Chain A
Amino acid sequence: MEDTKLLDIVERYIKGEMNPDERLHFETLRKSNAEIDQLVVEHTLFLQQMNRFGEWKKFRSSLNDVHTQLTEQGKIDSTRLKGKAKVIYLVKRYKRVAAIAAVIAGVTTITISALVNTFNPKVDNAQITSLSRDIQYIKQKQNVQTNEVNQLKNKITTTQIPFKAGGSGFLIDGKGYLVTNAHIIRNSKNIVVINNKGDQFKAIIAKIFFDKDIAILKIEDDTYKQTGSLPYGIRKSSTDVAEPIFTLGYPRNEIVYSEGYLSAKTGFNGDTLSCQLGIAANRGNSGGPVFNHDGEIIGIISSKEMAAEGVAFAIQSKYIYSAIDDLKKDTTFQSIKVPAKSSVRGMDKKQQVKKIQDFVFMVKGD
């Protein structure tokens, strides 16, 4: 009870609620009693602290009041973020989430495309190049020539056709049927075939099979003389790995012979349509025949691998038959007859080539 009273007195003293007499009396007491003096100092500090604390609390709550009030009055933009501020805020806030989402999306995309690549046996165009021969000279001069042709159009009767694409092809029927690659003459309207003597004949596309990369051409030219039988046959069954093979084609403006071996029964990345050859092939060899040592055609050279030298791919010869079967459904081509037997069997290579070379043509398209 004493302490309660004392504190009450101290508080009244600190707050200045005492009358002068009381005050004087208390101050004398304070001076003589160190304990009371200490209590006064301590309590003064405490009350100050309490006062400031109270004001601090009050100020805080008045700030909140002001905030709410000003927001309601629309004098500040708080919580009702609009326009640009909102966009910026949302962007900042969800930047991390968006980044993570993007990463996940990226990883998923890569994974899926990796899976697709793994399970899809399709030929990768980046790694493989078509052997279709581009005729550089004509390519470079084409604009000049086109201009010249346009200028001379009225003076000369025959039109010079600028041939851009070129490759090889070979007869499958003496009546003028040739086989070549579809990719060589893909975009061509005018096609000529040239034999190793330099004789040039116009040809048309009898049928084109883009899926097999096979095209069957028909020579339609008055100067062409039909030949009886062909020296080579076209093999129906597949060939054994390591069997020596050779090819004839036109990587240059002259017929070129090269030889090698069958290195695999399937083509690029396990493609069953084709087979793999260990042979030096160049642009222009495309569409050329691949012979075994009996002089049988076992395939059509179609492409080479970019990454490795001396590796080429050929379309298996059995697909020539299926192409011809398809073609025969058209009654105009029913008379087509494909040689199955080779007549150069047992001859030495030089003799074989000598007999065969007249039937291998350069194919040019515009």
Chain B
Amino acid sequence: MKDQFEEIALLKGLATNDKKAVETIYQENFNMVQSLIINNNGSSDDAKDIFQEAMIVLYEKARSGTFELNCQIKTFVYSVSKRLWLKRLQQQNRYTATSDNLEDVVPVENELEEHEKINAEFNLMEKALNNLGEPCKSLLEAYYLKKQNMQVIALNFGYTNADNAKNQKYKCLMRLKKIFFTDYKNGKEDGGY
């Protein structure tokens, strides 16, 4: 049994994307998930995908602040991985019958539902950004994601001054917001992402 405080500390680290915490959780759980996937018709690449997806679910949960540690991290990651893998098998029509050892250890339906929603939104954002094309995409990423200031951006992108860069950023942003909010609304109305 792992010390509970240690686990809470790990989750706190995970929420802030602390490298040490991510490494520790990764190292302690990956092999377990990999053998689960490989024993159920998967490859090591599948294992990597599924495990990282589960890590993101854990990350989201840790960040939401509502994560009460009612089970070990290991149990949670295992359960999530299992659900994700079953789902993928079903989507690929490769899932035949429930192996007896594939029942859930802890119920993770809510977390997965939430995760899917967030995933869908982020995929939407990624799509919208990609649709912008260059230099808009890089410009917006530099400002909003990398949080660079306008002087640096103007220099890097070759604008004569920060105001021109700001002007360009504004145009790009308007386009992005238009694409994003259109898709977002459509997605919501359709009820699917």
Contact = CB atoms under 8 A, between A and B. Distances in A.
B144 A66 contact: no
Interface in A59-77: 59-60, 62-64, 66-67, 69-70, 75-77
A122 interface: no
Contacts of A55: 17
Interface in B1-26: 17, 19, 22-23, 26
A224 interface: no
Given A62-B22, A70-B30, A89 B56 contact: no
B177 interface: yes
Given A47-B144, A58-B17, A81 B44 contact: yes
Contacts of A66: 19, 22-23, 26
B38 A89 contact: yes
B38 A85 contact: yes
A321 interface: no
Contact of A56 (B30, B122, B144): B122
A3 interface: yes
B52 A63 contact: yes
A4 B170 contact: yes
B56 A59 contact: yes
Q: How large is the interface on A (under 10, 10 to 19, 20 to 34, 35 or more residues)?
A: 35 or more
A3 B171 CA distance: 10
A54 B170 contact: no
Secondary structure type dominating chain B contacts: helix
Nearest to A43: B177
A152 interface: no
Interface residues of B, number: 38
Contact of B180 (A46, A54, A56, A62): A46
B72 interface: no
A209 interface: no
A290 B147 CA distance: 111
Given A46-B177, A50-B144, A76 B56 contact: no
B52 to A, nearest CB: 5
Interface string B28-64: 0011001100111111100110001001100100000
Interface of A: 1, 3-4, 7-8, 42, 46-47, 49-60, 62-64, 66-67, 69-70, 75-79, 81, 85, 88-89, 92-93
Interface of B: 17, 19, 22-23, 26-27, 30-31, 34-35, 38-44, 47-48, 52, 55-56, 59, 118, 121-122, 125-126, 144-146, 166-167, 170, 173, 177, 180-181
Top 10 closest A-B pairs, CB basis?
A: A54-B145, A4-B170, A76-B30, A50-B144, A89-B38, A63-B52, A53-B125, A66-B26, A75-B27, A92-B41
Given A56-B122, A66-B26, 16 more contacts: A1-B167, A4-B170, A51-B144, A53-B122, A56-B56, A63-B52, A63-B56, A66-B22, A67-B26, A69-B23, A75-B27, A78-B30, A79-B44, A88-B39, A89-B44, A93-B41
30 contacts: A3-B170, A4-B166, A4-B167, A42-B181, A46-B177, A49-B180, A50-B125, A50-B144, A50-B145, A53-B122, A55-B17, A56-B118, A59-B22, A62-B19, A63-B52, A63-B56, A67-B48, A69-B23, A70-B26, A75-B27, A76-B30, A76-B34, A78-B30, A78-B47, A81-B38, A81-B44, A85-B35, A88-B38, A89-B43, A89-B44
